[in-house]
Structure 1
Amino acid sequence: MSRVSPLLLLAAGAAALSACAPTTRSDGVSGDQTASQTQRQCFYTDQVRNFRVKTPSLYLRTDNNKVFQLEALGACTDLDSSAMGIAFLPATRLNRLCSGDWSDLAVAGGPSPQSPCRVRVVKQLTEAEIAALPERDRP
């Protein structure tokens, strides 16, 4: 039976522990903080108060004044500047959508008969990103 060197065991243990350490990006935000921020980028569909369309993006403002960017999958003919209303179909996960989630969107007021569009929640915009949007595109 071979004997394992205590120094080799110590080096292996240190390597295993360092693999569990949080990483830090160049902007000083740790990988763990980034993951938790992404997890919190959610909204409830019944709290959407305003929206603006800039094809292929859709910008939503919620009750708590957060703005989210969604993108349509493929051609969404009803999703244009003439859209008067939107509704998420069907209500899933207690009407909660988060970054990366997909949903079907019904659009009212477009020129053609209503047909659902497939959309994906891209992210919650920062204050700087909201300010950078042209005023006509801000919800």
Structure 2
Amino acid sequence: MSRHVSTLLLIAPAFLAAGLASCAPTASHEASSATSSPRQCFYSRQVTSFRGDDQTLYVRTQNRDVFELQALGYCNDLDFSLTIAFLPGVMDRLCAGDTTRIVASGGPAPQTPCRVRVIKKLTDAEIVALPDRNRP
């Protein structure tokens, strides 16, 4: 029995060291954190144009950036609307992952607030790849 206990005492530190090593940060994790891009944000008051359909909306800002927004539920007539308005909220600055409410007007349906989430800022290649009907 004492032989089994001594074997356990020799094996236990090896398992403990392996467990602690698995908690240590890796070089690839540190490198990815250092090279992560800044937050992708825009100010709703700087939106100059928009296009999209009832589920996806693309907005262009004054500095020519294009952001993709996804509807959280159904949004009436985004594809037929002449204007959109971001409803007043806590913040005017919207970043990828944020949600906000908009109202689209000028279409045949009544103006109903709609919740949307900012998905991301599109790259130049993604903007060029958008169909003309969706490019703001």
Q: TM-score, normalised by structure 2?
A: 0.77
CA gap 1:119/1:15 in 2 versus in 1, 3 angstroms: closer
Answer yes or no: is 1:132 the counterpart of 2:133: no
Q: Unaligned regions of 5+ residues in structure 2, if any?
A: 1-13
CA gap 1:115/1:16 in 2 versus in 1, 3 angstroms: closer
CA gap 1:15/1:114 in 2 versus in 1, 3 angstroms: closer
Inter-partner Cα distance in structure 2 for 1:11 and 1:75 = 50
Inter-partner Cα distance in structure 2 for 1:106 and 1:131 = 27
**Alpha-carbon RMSD:** 2.8
Q: 1:104 aligns with which of 101, 117, 132?
A: 101
Inter-partner Cα distance in structure 2 for 1:91 and 1:106 = 13
Deviations 1:109-138 (A, max 9, x none): 121211100100000001111111112211
Indicate if the aligned counterparts of 2:52 and 2:133 stay in contact, CA closer than 8 A. Answer: no
Inter-partner Cα distance in structure 2 for 1:85 and 1:113 = 13
Aligned pairs for 1:80-91 (under 5 A) are: 80=79, 82-91=80-89
CA gap 1:111/1:33 in 2 versus in 1, 3 angstroms: farther
Task: Quote the sequence identity (%).
Answer: 51
Indicate if the aligned counterparts of 2:103 and 2:113 stay in contact, CA closer than 8 A. Answer: yes
Aligned pairs for 1:1-139 (under 5 A) are: 19=25, 21-23=27-29, 30-33=31-34, 36-37=36-37, 39-80=38-79, 82-93=80-91, 95-139=92-136
Spell out structure 1 runs of 4+ moving beyond 6 A.
10-15
> Larger Cα Rg: Structure 1 or Structure 2?
2
Equivalent residue of 1:105, what SS? strand
Q: CA deviation at 1:91?
A: 3.3
Q: Counterpart of 2:8? A: none
Q: Unaligned regions of 5+ residues in structure 1, if any?
A: 1-7, 25-29
Inter-partner Cα distance in structure 2 for 1:79 and 1:14 = 52
Indicate if the aligned counterparts of 1:78 and 1:114 stay in contact, CA closer than 8 A. Answer: no
